[in-house]
Chains A and B, each alone.
Chain A
Amino acid sequence: MSTNNKEIRIGFYICHCGTNIAGVVDVDKIREFIAKKDNVVVSRNYKYMCSDPGQELIQKDIQEHRLNRIVVASCSPLLHEKTFRNTLEKAGLNPFYLQMVNVREHVAWVHSDNEKATEKAKALCNAAINRVRYNKPLEKKRVPFHQDVLIIGGGIAGIHSALILASAGKKVYLVEKKPTIGGHMAMFDKTFPTLDCAACILTPKMSAIKENKNVVLWTNSEVIKVEGYVGNFKVTIKRNPRYVREDLCIGCGQCIESCSYKEAKYPDEFNLGLSKRKPIYIPFPQAIPNSAIIDDKTCIHFKMGKCKQMCLSACERNAIDFNQKEELREIQVGAIIVATGFKIYDPQKEPEYGYGVYPNVYTSLEVERLINASGPTAGEVILRDGTKPKSIGIIHCIGSRSEKANKWCSRVCCMYSLKLAYLLKKHTHAEIYNFYIDMRTPGKMYEEFYDRLLMERVHFIRGKVAEVTDISLVKEEEGKLILRVEDTLASVIRRIPVDMVVLSVGLEPSEDTQKLAHILNIGLSAEGFFQERHPKLAPVSTFSEGIFIAGCCQGPKDIPDTVAQAGASAAEAMAMIDAGYFEIEPITAHVLDEFCSGCKSCINICPYSAISYDESKKKVFVNETLCKGCGTCSATCPSGVMKQNLFEDDQILNEIEGLLVYE
């Protein structure tokens, strides 16, 4: 391991980060220790290295002292490596001559013993000095950026992102798994706290999707494969058959009328099974595309193979096509926005609430449909036996803030429970009881809405309901559902008989989140939602460049926050597209040609098929555009001649030695 020591001039800088680092690590001691090392020309400590004066300090030193290697000991390289690389670049030095030491996240913030923390920081800094000698100048690669965008999920987030990008003239593929776009928002009756009708504000946007020439809408479709990289994704989409041609169908409903099933007998997904549909149906009146769909699991033609096919003859536009097959479509896009939303918590996991046992226990989403004028009861709130409830109990935090179920607060339940309390009172004039643990109403006009409800004679009982039961103890309880609860404000155990129970269920990652995370190669947070790149400063980015997340797939949130994230994702994608190119890290692998023995060990190990064998030379070569820089080939090469830029053996071995041997 030799390097021309004479030429190397290292500048070392340790950051105080206010007191974040300097409060634990003895920065003066580190500075003095490093100053004595070979080739170190400048060794300094400074309050904030990332500040302008901090960066100027480095630039000035580079020029005055002819420094050609820089080590900055500060926070995580994941945070400020780009900052300091730019600093080097500004001073005319190749940015890859930088080595960072993480003495904040990995030292100062996790160790309280100052002496031991300083000792560890010393080792880390020593290792960086050792390593930086072997850093080489590298050139960033620019790859052209494909102009089209894929949006996965056609809820309010996907719709909003699509419309923004389309209005900027970008071609958008909007892919939705269900037969219609609209997502959960289309199922809601009113939205809090303004009480404007969800359909009234959503459906114009849904129509705009259909009208917009820049949007290619594929419903009933799923993303099954994503290859390539930022700016150049190759995506395979499976389009499931609808058996009705969207381009011909005008949604007149003649086919549904004439279906061999005279009565609708299958649970209607859109109304959560509270009403029935036929095998051929339109999900809801304002569905986009407003086209019928045949469910091949219930249609007689598909089940038995013999049906009079009345729908076929009823359709004047010949839109019905029993021969449609699933199709695979391949598209090229530059960026991907994931907006796959959420699923509601299944309250059957907690049998004490009686969901699925007592017919008059509903989830909040079912109640949204019951209140809705286009819902199963045309907006009339009636129980399963047709009677109107005279008393209703709304139980908050079902599946949320619980050690048994999900630990997180689902953020929207308090507010939608208040909204449902208001709407149920309007519709039924029943006595309404809200059972809450804490009332959480942060948001514009949210607390005011809670205040209003307090005035509207809705009862609020602070306490987690222990049980919903139909076992009555007194005459007044007979035939009712009794909620047993500790009223923690009055310190009494109460039994409250009601006719109807509403379970305010929490939000969970939607079904295919994990599968999609694998397809897209993006991470999941501990709760199973998609992981953002930084919780505060990169809330819609992921660890895969060019892939963004918006809405509830990132974590529970209300409609305003979802729309804000959707806008942010669109803007972030636009910024990349309009640059026209993307700079990728030059951390790719290359072979030292003369020493390659042609053993081909590396070829099979490469997950991207970036390595090929040259028959004429009897050696391998790396396609640098395909290589993503994992370095696995480098670890495999028995001759040690497969090199990964910035992670070469010399660099890592010297780092190891630097951590262990010093003083």
Chain B
Amino acid sequence: MSEQNWEPKIIAFFCNWCTYTAADLAGVSKLSYAPNVKIIRVMCSGRVDPQFVLYAFANGADGVLIGGCHPGDCHYSEGNYKTLRRISLLKKMLTQFGIEDDRMRLEWISGAEGEKVKTVINEMTENIRKLGPLNIPEKFITWDRELEKRNRGSEYKLRV
């Protein structure tokens, strides 16, 4: 896809009980929002393994959104607190990799907050549009090529 008609690709992980339900509510209420976010359903935001986020970026996502229940409201009592801890650490790591802060977002959205789903998705899409494409897969190819040049004969690749 050329730079001009590039559209942000965002992967979202929404918990079954709050944020996924809120996204359903947004649908039932016919709230219109940007089509850039694609939602994956998990039972709890606590299921979101940092490797899912990394894998999404590695496969071409420009942003990752995680949605869980408000603190204290988690269907599994405290899964969202664990997400918060994990994601805070992951954020630090991502910025060190040169992946901007705005590319990963964690939001608490309750089952009643259809409106918030719309706002968050629209905001995030716009923020990432401003940041531009991340394009990790292409970077992998370039990096692998550079590595290959440097260590001819070696089998080593950044991405297996």
- B 13-45 to A, binary, CB cutoff 8 A, 1 in contact else 0: 000111011011011101111010011111110
For the side of the interface on B, what is the size category? 35 or more
Query: With A78-B24, A110-B32, A660-B61 given, is the CB distance from A523 to B112 under 8 Å?
Result: yes
Bound-complex Cα distance A117 to B38 (A): 11
Q: Does any Cβ of A come within 8 Å of B56's Cβ?
A: yes
Q: Residue of B at shortest CB range from A112?
A: B32
Q: Residue of B at shortest CB range from A131?
A: B40
Contact, CB under 8 Å: B24 / A105: yes
- Measured CB to CB, the closest approach of chain B to A229, in angstroms, equals 11
Interface residues of B in 35-83 (CB under 8 A from A): 35, 38-44, 46-52, 55-56, 59-61, 72-73, 75-79, 82
Q: Which of B39, B48, B78 contacts A106 (CB 8 A)?
A: B39
Q: Which residues of A contact B55 (CB under 8 A)?
A: 653, 656-657
Most chain B CB within a 10 A radius of its CB, from A119, A123, A659? A659
Binds B, one of A178-186, A266-274, A627-635: A627-635
- Measured CB to CB, the closest approach of chain A to B127, in angstroms, equals 19
Bound-complex Cα distance A660 to B16 (A): 22
Q: Does any Cβ of B come within 8 Å of A368's Cβ?
A: no
Bound-complex Cα distance A109 to B20 (A): 15
Q: Which of A120, A524, A628, A652 contacts B38 (CB 8 A)?
A: A120
Q: Does any Cβ of B come within 8 Å of A31's Cβ?
A: no
Q: Does any Cβ of A come within 8 Å of B111's Cβ?
A: yes
Q: Does any Cβ of A come within 8 Å of B128's Cβ?
A: no
Query: With A531-B112, A631-B46, A659-B11 given, is the CB distance from A76 to B24 under 8 Å?
Result: yes
Contact, CB under 8 Å: A631 / B42: yes
Q: Residue of A at shortest CB range from B78?
A: A607
Q: Does any Cβ of A come within 8 Å of B102's Cβ?
A: no
Contact, CB under 8 Å: A652 / B11: no
Query: With A607-B76, A635-B47 given, is the CB distance from A111 to B32 under 8 Å?
Result: yes
Bound-complex Cα distance A105 to B26 (A): 7
Contact, CB under 8 Å: B42 / A647: yes
Q: Residue of A at shortest CB range from B47?
A: A631
- Measured CB to CB, the closest approach of chain A to B20, in angstroms, equals 7
Q: Which of B31, B46, B61 contacts A635 (CB 8 A)?
A: B46
Q: Which residues of B contact A79 (CB under 8 A)?
A: 24
Q: Which residues of A contact B113 (CB under 8 A)?
A: 526
Query: With A119-B35, A524-B110 given, is the CB distance from A631 to B11 under 8 Å?
Result: no
Q: Does any Cβ of B come within 8 Å of A490's Cβ?
A: no
Q: Which of A77, A124, A526, A644 contacts B112 (CB 8 A)?
A: A526
Interface residues of A in 600-632 (CB under 8 A from B): 605, 607-608, 628-632
Q: Residue of A at shortest CB range from B10?
A: A659
Most chain A CB within a 10 A radius of its CB, from B33, B75, B86? B75
Contact, CB under 8 Å: A632 / B38: no
Interface residues of A in 572-617 (CB under 8 A from B): 587, 605, 607-608
- Measured CB to CB, the closest approach of chain A to B147, in angstroms, equals 22
- A 72-110 to B, binary, CB cutoff 8 A, 1 in contact else 0: 000011110000000000000000000000101111011
Interface residues of A in 120-170 (CB under 8 A from B): 120, 123-124, 127
For the side of the interface on A, what is the size category? 35 or more
Query: With A102-B39, A116-B35 given, is the CB distance from A660 to B46 under 8 Å?
Result: no
Contact, CB under 8 Å: A524 / B56: no
- Measured CB to CB, the closest approach of chain A to B82, in angstroms, equals 5
Contact, CB under 8 Å: A105 / B52: no
- A 515-537 to B, binary, CB cutoff 8 A, 1 in contact else 0: 00110010111100001000000
Bound-complex Cα distance A111 to B39 (A): 14
Query: With A543-B111, A647-B47 given, is the CB distance from A110 to B24 under 8 Å?
Result: no
Contact, CB under 8 Å: B9 / A77: no
Q: Which residues of A contact B24 (CB under 8 A)?
A: 76, 78-79, 102, 105-106
Q: Which residues of A contact B52 (CB under 8 A)?
A: 652-653, 656
Bound-complex Cα distance A631 to B86 (A): 14
- Measured CB to CB, the closest approach of chain A to B26, in angstroms, equals 6
Q: Residue of A at shortest CB range from B56?
A: A656
Q: Residue of A at shortest CB range from B60?
A: A660
Q: Does any Cβ of B come within 8 Å of A508's Cβ?
A: no
Contact, CB under 8 Å: A120 / B49: no
Contact, CB under 8 Å: A660 / B33: no
Contact, CB under 8 Å: B110 / A110: no
Q: Which residues of B contact A526 (CB under 8 A)?
A: 110, 112-113
- Measured CB to CB, the closest approach of chain B to A388, in angstroms, equals 47
Query: With A523-B18, A543-B17, A660-B60 given, is the CB distance from A105 to B23 under 8 Å?
Result: yes
Contact, CB under 8 Å: A660 / B43: no
- 10 A–B contact pairs at CB < 8 A? A78-B20, A112-B32, A518-B73, A524-B110, A526-B110, A531-B112, A605-B82, A656-B59, A659-B11, A660-B61
Binding site for A on B (CB under 8 A): 9, 11, 16-18, 20-21, 23-24, 26-28, 30-33, 35, 38-44, 46-52, 55-56, 59-61, 72-73, 75-79, 82, 86, 110-113, 118
Give 3 closest A-B pairs by Cβ, nearest first. Answer: A105-B27, A631-B47, A632-B46
Binding site for B on A (CB under 8 A): 76-79, 102, 104-107, 109-113, 116-117, 119-120, 123-124, 127, 517-518, 521, 523-526, 531, 543-544, 587, 605, 607-608, 628-632, 634-636, 644, 647, 649, 652-653, 655-657, 659-661
